[in-house]
Amino acid sequence: MSDVAYWTVVHGLKGVFSCFCRVETHRTREVPAGPWILACNHLSHFDPPLIAGAFRKPLDFLAMRELFRPAWFGSLLRAANVIPVGRRQADTAALKAAIRRLEKGRIVCVFPEGGLRAGSTSVLGGADLTEGVALLAARAEVPVRPAVIVGSDQLYAGQNWTRRPRILVAVGEPMPPPGKQEKRSGWVQRLGEEMRKVYEEARHRHKLHPHELPHTPQERWKAGR
């Protein structure tokens, strides 16, 4: 599997974003090669390229099928090793594709919140995660690393593109996959707790300001910041 298209897109977008925001990282450069799963919260449409640019190793993202239209854009995503997944029901084809990637020693990035989330609907605010990540980890028998991205939602406010807001990507310690007798609901609850732990540690370590903490796109548009 070639990563030429992946790095071409990632480095190109990283160069663009570096003009409009400042990305800080914690432990993203130290992660080992796959196979393992990166489980991250999802704040904005800008998250995938910002997360990818924070790592030195390629990430195979799971993305909703709607993003693969029109066809030319879908071809670009597939060339960059993105896996299409349906959101309305269990997508066995996407699950099998992700498992095959992990069997090849890849790192698969998932957003287990099930969409863009902030506030009480986000895992960072205490909401539950979907169980698909537990199923994937169990089937592939690979560890999962909790991760958080904070600040990417600031880019929804046009004024911030000239202020170069700070964005943080942090990764925590790996969790083993669910045991054979372990309930997925209990395992994803522990994963959520680990993601919140990474978030709280990042808040204090990087001294994040209130305006840098997660907000919905609507709140950003209304406040203009």
Share of the chain above pLDDT 70, in %: 98
Instruction: Tell the residue number behind the tokens 């560890």, with chain if given.
Output: 143
Beta bridge partners of 108: 37, 60
pLDDT tens digits along 44-76? 999 999 999 999 999 999 988 888 889 999 898
Domain layout of the chain by residue ranges? 4-207
Residue 89 has pLDDT above 80, yes or no: no
Beta bridge partners of 58: none
d(CA 81, CA 200): 32
d(CA 19, CA 23): 11
The model's confidence at residue 88, banded by pLDDT at 50, 70 and 90, is: low
pTM (2 decimals)? 0.94
pLDDT tens digits along 96-151? 999 999 999 999 999 999 899 999 999 999 999 999 999 999 999 999 999 999 99
3-class secondary structure per residue, the chain: CCCHHHHHHHHHHHHHHCCCCEEEEECCCCCCCCCEEEEECCCCCCHHHHHHHCCCCCCEEEEEHHHHCCHHHHHHHHHCCCEEECCCCCCHHHHHHHHHHHHCCCEEEECCCCCCCCHHHCHHHCCCCCCHHHHHHHHHCCCEEEEEEECHHHHHCHHHHHCCCEEEEEECCCECCCCCCCCHHHHHHHHHHHHHHHHHHHHHHCCCCHHHCCCCHHHHHHHCC
pLDDT tens digits along 148-188? 999 999 999 999 999 999 999 999 999 999 998 899 999 99
Mean pLDDT of 79-101: 88
Question: The tokens of 3 are what?
Answer: 């990563």
CATH topology of domain 4-207: Glycerol-3-phosphate (1)-acyltransferase (3.40.1130)
Note the pLDDT of residue 4.
94
Note the pLDDT of residue 86.
82
